[in-house]
């Protein structure tokens, strides 16, 4: 299914094509360290961890304690899980399948 959302843009296409060329975690570290600030990388990682914990039905308090995320960030991620483009769902399902956890 082709993405047709409001973000569609040639510059973003180029960025995502670049990400798709990365072969392993080490290459991801190299690329993301160059293209993002440390804070941006950590923020993205935190949001993914929050999404995973929300899917596990953890409480906001547990999630905040384990990740350091604010309740505003947790709420934002929850909104994306419920009403977003299903990107979190897609990635978390694939990661779980890769680890043999199911969905």
The pLDDT, as a whole number, for residue 5 is: 81
The pLDDT, as a whole number, for residue 6 is: 85
pTM of the model: 0.91
Q: How confident is the model at residue 3 (pLDDT cuts 50, 70, 90)?
A: confident
Domain boundaries, the chain: 10-98
Question: Is 60 in contact with 20 (CB distance < 8 Å)?
Answer: no
Tokens (6 digits) for 74: 């947790």
Question: Is 66 in contact with 43 (CB distance < 8 Å)?
Answer: no
Tell which CATH classification among 3.40.50.300, 1.10.1270.10, 1.10.3720.10, 2.40.70.10 matches the domain 10-98: 1.10.1270.10
């Amino acid at each position: 299914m082709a993405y047709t959302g409001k973000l569609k843009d040639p510059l973003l296409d180029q960025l995502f094509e670049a990400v798709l060329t990365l072969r392993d975690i080490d290459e991801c570290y190299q690329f993301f360290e160059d293209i993002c600030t440390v804070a941006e990388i950590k923020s993205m990682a935190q949001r993914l961890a929050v999404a995973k914990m929300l899917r596990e039905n953890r409480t906001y308090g547990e999630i905040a304690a384990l990740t350091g995320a604010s309740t505003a960030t947790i709420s934002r991620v929850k909104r994306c899980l419920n009403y977003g483009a299903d990107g979190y769902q897609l990635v978390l399902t694939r990661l779980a399948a890769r680890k043999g956890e199911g969905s």
